[in-house]
Structure 1
Amino acid sequence: MQKAPAQATQDYEKYRSVLVRRQEELRQRLYAIEQDLERPRDPDDDDRAIERNNDEVLEELGTAGQSELAAIDAALDRLNHGTFGRCSKCGDVIDERRLDAVPYTAICQDCARSV
């Protein structure tokens, strides 16, 4: 198991803070989506059709949120194990600009291009 480089180590707490904050935002959003999907439906046929369309959008948002949450959980795990900041495919250092843009990324930009 390779340790993250010194520069990334210095930024661990910055990334942990960003990830934990986003994790909480997603959990709140997913809870709100779940509550909305469970509310009683309108008995009017036209309104029910609109609600079904809205439910599909909410379900897609929920799925995307769950995927991002799983990626954040994995990034926090990498932080805890000292592998954060290293590409899980090639082992190279992930550029700080990439981590700033997508802090839960597990792969470097070169490996992302090859996918």
Structure 2
Amino acid sequence: MSALMEIHLVDELKATLLAEQTRLKKLLANTQRHLHRRDPVSADFAEQATETENDEVVAALDQGAQIELSQINKALQRIESGDYGSCVVCGGSINTERLKAIPHTPFCIQCASAK
């Protein structure tokens, strides 16, 4: 953890990360239920097309939630290890305002911009 990081700020950001982790786990449970449901295929071709489109949207939501959940879990690990607030690329401090905006970010603005 950067010397500039205040303990209460880290606690606040950890609470934010934990709340988002819970929300994403619920979302993933719902998307998985939807994707693995056993509903019969509609006889109506237009309805089949709509169902397929809906499934594609749900699958994209599921994939995005999985990626974000992984990033949140890694951020929580960095908090536990004391590395939170330090860029994983250059080792520099991540700006407090950036962490407030994106609590799971592992990159300072310079390294994020270079990607």
Check conservation: 1:8, 1:85, Cα contact below 8 A. Answer: no
Q: How many residues align?
A: 113
One of 25, 30, 46 as aligned partner of 2:28:
30
Letter of the structure 1 residue corresponding to residue 28 of structure 2: L
Name the counterpart of 1:68.
Answer: 68
Distance 1:41 1:73 in 2: 37
Runs of 4+ in 1 over 4 A off after TM superposition: none
Q: CA deviation at 1:6?
A: 4.0
Distance 1:101 1:86 in 2: 15
Q: Would the alpha carbon gap of residues 51 and 41 (structure 1) be closer, same or farther in structure 2, given more than 3 Å must change?
A: farther
> Deviations 1:6-31 (Å, cap 9, x if unpaired)?
42444221111000000000010111
Distance 2:24 2:34 in 1: 15
RMSD, matched Cα: 1.3
Structure 2, unmatched stretches of 5+, are none
Matched, 1:20 2:7: no
Distance 1:59 1:101 in 2: 26
Check conservation: 1:8, 1:96, Cα contact below 8 A. Answer: no
Check conservation: 1:87, 1:94, Cα contact below 8 A. Answer: yes
> Deviations 1:27-68 (Å, cap 9, x if unpaired)?
101111111122214432321221011000110110000000
Check conservation: 1:41, 1:51, Cα contact below 8 A. Answer: no
